[in-house]
Protein backbone atom coordinates (compact mmCIF):
# COMPACT_ATOMS: atom_id res chain seq x y z
CA UNK A 1 0.00 0.00 0.00
CA UNK A 2 1.22 3.49 -0.84
CA UNK A 3 2.76 5.36 2.11
CA UNK A 4 1.12 8.60 3.30
CA UNK A 5 2.45 11.85 1.80
CA UNK A 6 3.90 14.22 4.36
CA UNK A 7 3.27 17.95 4.14
CA UNK A 8 6.06 19.99 2.54
CA UNK A 9 6.20 22.70 5.19
CA UNK A 10 6.82 22.24 8.92
CA UNK A 11 3.88 24.51 9.75
CA UNK A 12 1.35 22.38 7.93
CA UNK A 13 -1.20 20.80 10.21
CA UNK A 14 -2.50 17.95 8.08
CA UNK A 15 -1.17 14.79 6.48
CA UNK A 16 -2.80 13.23 3.42
CA UNK A 17 -3.46 9.54 2.85
CA UNK A 18 -4.63 7.86 -0.35
CA UNK A 19 -8.42 7.80 -0.50
CA UNK A 20 -8.75 4.36 -2.09
CA UNK A 21 -11.44 3.02 0.22
CA UNK A 22 -13.37 6.20 1.08
CA UNK A 23 -11.97 6.30 4.61
CA UNK A 24 -10.83 9.52 6.25
CA UNK A 25 -8.34 10.91 3.74
CA UNK A 26 -6.81 13.63 5.90
CA UNK A 27 -5.29 13.31 9.37
CA UNK A 28 -4.31 16.25 11.52
CA UNK A 29 -1.08 16.42 13.49
CA UNK A 30 -2.91 15.41 16.69
CA UNK A 31 -4.70 12.55 14.98
CA UNK A 32 -1.62 10.92 13.50
CA UNK A 33 0.26 10.99 16.80
CA UNK A 34 -2.85 9.68 18.58
CA UNK A 35 -2.95 6.83 16.06
CA UNK A 36 0.68 5.99 16.80
CA UNK A 37 -0.07 5.96 20.54
CA UNK A 38 -3.11 3.74 19.97
CA UNK A 39 -1.13 1.37 17.74
CA UNK A 40 1.47 1.01 20.50
CA UNK A 41 -1.23 0.41 23.13
CA UNK A 42 -2.87 -2.27 20.99
CA UNK A 43 0.37 -4.23 21.16
CA UNK A 44 1.02 -3.54 24.86
CA UNK A 45 3.87 -1.19 24.00
CA UNK A 46 4.87 2.33 24.92
CA UNK A 47 5.65 4.71 22.04
CA UNK A 48 9.36 4.04 22.60
CA UNK A 49 8.67 0.30 22.68
CA UNK A 50 6.89 0.56 19.33
CA UNK A 51 9.85 2.46 17.90
CA UNK A 52 12.26 -0.24 19.09
CA UNK A 53 10.11 -3.03 17.62
CA UNK A 54 10.07 -1.11 14.33
CA UNK A 55 13.87 -0.91 14.23
CA UNK A 56 13.87 2.83 14.89
CA UNK A 57 15.60 5.02 17.43
CA UNK A 58 13.70 4.53 20.73
CA UNK A 59 12.89 8.27 20.92
CA UNK A 60 11.32 8.46 17.43
CA UNK A 61 7.72 8.47 18.71
CA UNK A 62 8.32 10.19 22.06
CA UNK A 63 6.19 13.21 22.94
CA UNK A 64 9.29 15.43 22.90
CA UNK A 65 9.60 14.73 19.15
CA UNK A 66 6.14 16.06 18.32
CA UNK A 67 6.82 19.79 18.55
CA UNK A 68 9.89 21.99 18.75
CA UNK A 69 10.18 25.76 19.19
CA UNK A 70 6.46 26.10 18.67
CA UNK A 71 6.51 24.19 15.37
CA UNK A 72 4.71 20.93 14.78
CA UNK A 73 6.90 17.94 14.00
CA UNK A 74 5.59 14.98 12.03
CA UNK A 75 6.60 11.32 11.99
CA UNK A 76 8.28 10.39 8.73
CA UNK A 77 6.55 8.19 6.18
CA UNK A 78 9.38 5.69 6.65
CA UNK A 79 8.82 5.47 10.41
CA UNK A 80 5.06 4.97 9.95
CA UNK A 81 5.65 2.29 7.33
CA UNK A 82 8.07 0.48 9.63
CA UNK A 83 5.61 0.63 12.53
CA UNK A 84 2.83 -0.81 10.37
CA UNK A 85 5.14 -3.55 9.12
CA UNK A 86 6.34 -4.41 12.63
CA UNK A 87 2.79 -4.72 13.98
CA UNK A 88 1.12 -6.20 10.90
CA UNK A 89 -1.38 -3.33 10.77
CA UNK A 90 -2.81 -1.98 7.52
CA UNK A 91 -3.09 1.71 6.72
CA UNK A 92 -6.89 1.44 7.02
CA UNK A 93 -6.52 0.02 10.53
CA UNK A 94 -4.05 2.74 11.44
CA UNK A 95 -6.44 5.50 10.37
CA UNK A 96 -9.30 3.81 12.26
CA UNK A 97 -7.38 4.03 15.54
CA UNK A 98 -8.40 7.65 16.08
CA UNK A 99 -11.72 9.43 16.02
CA UNK A 100 -12.55 12.62 14.16
CA UNK A 101 -11.44 14.77 17.12
CA UNK A 102 -7.97 13.27 17.17
CA UNK A 103 -8.43 11.20 20.30
CA UNK A 104 -6.96 7.75 20.41
CA UNK A 105 -9.65 5.16 20.98
CA UNK A 106 -7.84 3.56 23.90
CA UNK A 107 -9.48 2.27 27.05
CA UNK A 108 -7.81 1.15 30.26
CA UNK A 109 -8.62 -2.52 30.80
CA UNK A 110 -8.10 -4.32 34.13
CA UNK A 111 -5.34 -6.95 33.97
CA UNK A 112 -4.47 -9.86 36.24
CA UNK A 113 -2.57 -13.13 35.97
CA UNK A 114 -4.75 -16.11 35.13
CA UNK A 115 -3.37 -18.00 38.12
CA UNK A 116 -4.80 -15.31 40.41
CA UNK A 117 -8.14 -14.95 38.67
CA UNK A 118 -9.74 -17.84 40.53
CA UNK A 119 -9.18 -16.25 43.93
CA UNK A 120 -12.06 -14.57 45.72
CA UNK A 121 -12.61 -10.86 45.26
CA UNK A 122 -11.52 -10.34 41.65
CA UNK A 123 -14.96 -10.87 40.06
CA UNK A 124 -18.39 -9.92 41.32
CA UNK A 125 -21.41 -12.22 41.33
CA UNK A 126 -22.25 -11.22 37.76
CA UNK A 127 -18.79 -12.27 36.55
CA UNK A 128 -17.54 -8.72 36.03
CA UNK A 129 -14.07 -7.65 37.25
CA UNK A 130 -13.88 -5.83 40.57
CA UNK A 131 -11.36 -3.04 40.04
CA UNK A 132 -9.42 -3.32 43.30
CA UNK A 133 -6.26 -5.43 42.98
CA UNK A 134 -6.03 -5.38 39.18
CA UNK A 135 -3.34 -3.75 37.07
CA UNK A 136 -4.36 -1.93 33.89
CA UNK A 137 -3.33 -1.91 30.24
CA UNK A 138 -4.46 0.25 27.34
CA UNK A 139 -6.49 -1.30 24.54
CA UNK A 140 -8.24 0.46 21.65
CA UNK A 141 -11.83 0.28 20.45
CA UNK A 142 -13.50 -1.62 23.27
CA UNK A 143 -17.24 -1.10 23.58
CA UNK A 144 -17.60 -3.53 26.48
CA UNK A 145 -17.23 -1.61 29.74
CA UNK A 146 -16.66 -4.88 31.63
CA UNK A 147 -13.87 -6.20 29.37
CA UNK A 148 -10.74 -7.40 31.14
CA UNK A 149 -7.32 -8.89 30.39
CA UNK A 150 -5.67 -12.05 31.71
CA UNK A 151 -1.98 -12.88 31.54
CA UNK A 152 -1.28 -16.48 30.62
CA UNK A 153 0.74 -18.53 33.08
CA UNK A 154 2.46 -21.80 32.20
CA UNK A 155 2.19 -24.07 29.17
CA UNK A 156 -1.32 -25.49 29.46
CA UNK A 157 -2.55 -23.37 26.52
CA UNK A 158 0.29 -24.04 24.09
CA UNK A 159 0.59 -23.75 21.16
CA UNK A 160 -2.21 -21.17 20.96
CA UNK A 161 -1.19 -19.03 23.95
CA UNK A 162 2.27 -18.89 25.48
CA UNK A 163 3.41 -18.04 28.98
CA UNK A 164 3.25 -14.25 29.29
CA UNK A 165 0.71 -13.69 26.51
CA UNK A 166 -2.19 -11.41 27.37
CA UNK A 167 -5.74 -12.14 26.30
CA UNK A 168 -8.60 -9.64 26.18
CA UNK A 169 -11.91 -11.07 27.35
CA UNK A 170 -15.37 -9.62 26.72
CA UNK A 171 -18.28 -10.63 28.97
CA UNK A 172 -20.66 -8.87 26.56
CA UNK A 173 -19.60 -10.83 23.47
CA UNK A 174 -21.87 -13.60 22.23
CA UNK A 175 -20.37 -17.07 22.63
CA UNK A 176 -20.69 -19.65 19.87
CA UNK A 177 -19.40 -23.13 19.26
CA UNK A 178 -15.74 -22.98 18.24
CA UNK A 179 -15.02 -19.76 20.15
CA UNK A 180 -12.10 -19.57 22.54
CA UNK A 181 -13.44 -18.78 25.97
CA UNK A 182 -12.46 -18.18 29.57
CA UNK A 183 -14.46 -20.26 32.01
CA UNK A 184 -14.59 -19.92 35.77
CA UNK A 185 -16.16 -22.68 37.81
CA UNK A 186 -17.98 -22.24 41.09
CA UNK A 187 -15.00 -23.96 42.68
CA UNK A 188 -12.70 -21.12 41.60
CA UNK A 189 -10.92 -22.84 38.69
CA UNK A 190 -10.21 -20.53 35.75
CA UNK A 191 -9.26 -21.89 32.33
CA UNK A 192 -9.05 -20.89 28.67
CA UNK A 193 -10.50 -23.48 26.30
CA UNK A 194 -12.36 -23.82 23.04
CA UNK A 195 -16.11 -24.25 23.29
CA UNK A 196 -16.88 -27.58 21.60
CA UNK A 197 -20.56 -27.87 22.51
CA UNK A 198 -23.10 -26.16 24.74
CA UNK A 199 -26.60 -27.19 25.77
CA UNK A 200 -28.96 -25.95 28.44
CA UNK A 201 -27.53 -28.57 30.79
CA UNK A 202 -23.77 -28.60 30.16
CA UNK A 203 -20.76 -27.28 28.27
CA UNK A 204 -18.02 -29.29 26.59
CA UNK A 205 -14.61 -27.65 26.38
CA UNK A 206 -11.72 -28.65 24.12
CA UNK A 207 -8.21 -28.08 25.46
CA UNK A 208 -5.94 -25.84 23.40
CA UNK A 209 -2.97 -28.01 24.34
CA UNK A 210 -3.41 -31.66 23.25
CA UNK A 211 -1.38 -32.78 26.28
CA UNK A 212 -4.23 -31.62 28.54
CA UNK A 213 -7.60 -33.29 28.79
CA UNK A 214 -10.85 -31.84 27.52
CA UNK A 215 -13.37 -30.81 30.17
CA UNK A 216 -17.11 -31.17 30.61
CA UNK A 217 -19.14 -29.18 33.16
CA UNK A 218 -22.76 -29.04 34.13
CA UNK A 219 -24.07 -25.50 33.71
CA UNK A 220 -24.74 -25.45 37.44
CA UNK A 221 -20.98 -25.77 37.99
CA UNK A 222 -20.09 -22.74 35.86
CA UNK A 223 -19.80 -19.27 37.38
CA UNK A 224 -19.26 -17.61 33.99
CA UNK A 225 -18.04 -18.17 30.44
CA UNK A 226 -16.66 -15.20 28.47
CA UNK A 227 -15.32 -14.99 24.93
CA UNK A 228 -11.67 -14.21 24.20
CA UNK A 229 -11.63 -11.44 21.59
CA UNK A 230 -7.90 -10.71 21.22
CA UNK A 231 -4.47 -11.99 22.25
CA UNK A 232 -1.03 -10.33 22.30
CA UNK A 233 0.75 -12.78 20.01
More confident residue, 1 or 87: 87
The whole-number average pLDDT for the span 74-101 is: 81
Q: How would you write the chain as a 3-class SS string?
A: CCCCECCCCCCCCEEECCCCCCCCCEEEHHHHHHHHHHHHHHCCCCHHHHHHHCCCCCCCCCHHHCEECCEECCCCHHHHHHHHHHHCCCHHHHHCCECCCCCECEEEEEEEECCCCCCCCCECCCCCECCCCCEEEEEECCCCCCCEEEECCCCCCCCCCCCCCEEEEECCCCCCCCCEEEEEECCCCEEEEEEEEECCCEEEEECCCCCCCCEEEEHHHEEEEEEEEEECC
Fold of 106-231: Umud Fragment, subunit A (2.10.109)
- Mean pLDDT throughout 4-24? 40
Rg for the chain (alpha carbons), in Å?
A: 21
Query: What is residue 94's predicted lDDT score, i.e. its pLDDT?
Result: 81
Tens-digit pLDDT profile for residues 104-147? 556 778 999 999 999 989 999 999 999 778 988 877 656 788 99
pLDDT, tens digit (0-9, with 9 covering 90-100), for 157-177: 999 999 998 899 999 999 999
pLDDT value of position 172: 92
Q: How confident is the model at residue 190 (pLDDT cuts 50, 70, 90)?
A: very high
Topology adopted by domain 14-95 = 434 Repressor (Amino-terminal Domain) (1.10.260)
Between 10 and 170, the more confident residue is: 170
More confident residue, 218 or 138: 218
pLDDT, tens only, 25-83: 346 788 888 889 888 888 888 899 999 999 999 999 998 889 988 889 988 888 988 99
* Domain boundary assignment for the chain: 14-95, 106-231
Q: Answer whether residue 8 shows pLDDT above 70.
A: no
pLDDT at position 141: 59
Q: CA 229 to CA 214: how far, in whole Å?
A: 21
12 pLDDT exceeds 70? Answer: no
User: What's the confidence (pLDDT) of residue 103?
Assistant: 56
Amino acid sequence: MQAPVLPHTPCANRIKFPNRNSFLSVLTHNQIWAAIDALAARHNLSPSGLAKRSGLDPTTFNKSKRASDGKLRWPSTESIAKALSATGATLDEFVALVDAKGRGRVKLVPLIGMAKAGARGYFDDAGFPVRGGWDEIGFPDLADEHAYALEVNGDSMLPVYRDGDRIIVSPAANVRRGDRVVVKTNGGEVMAKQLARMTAQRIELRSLNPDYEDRVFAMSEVAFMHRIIWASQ
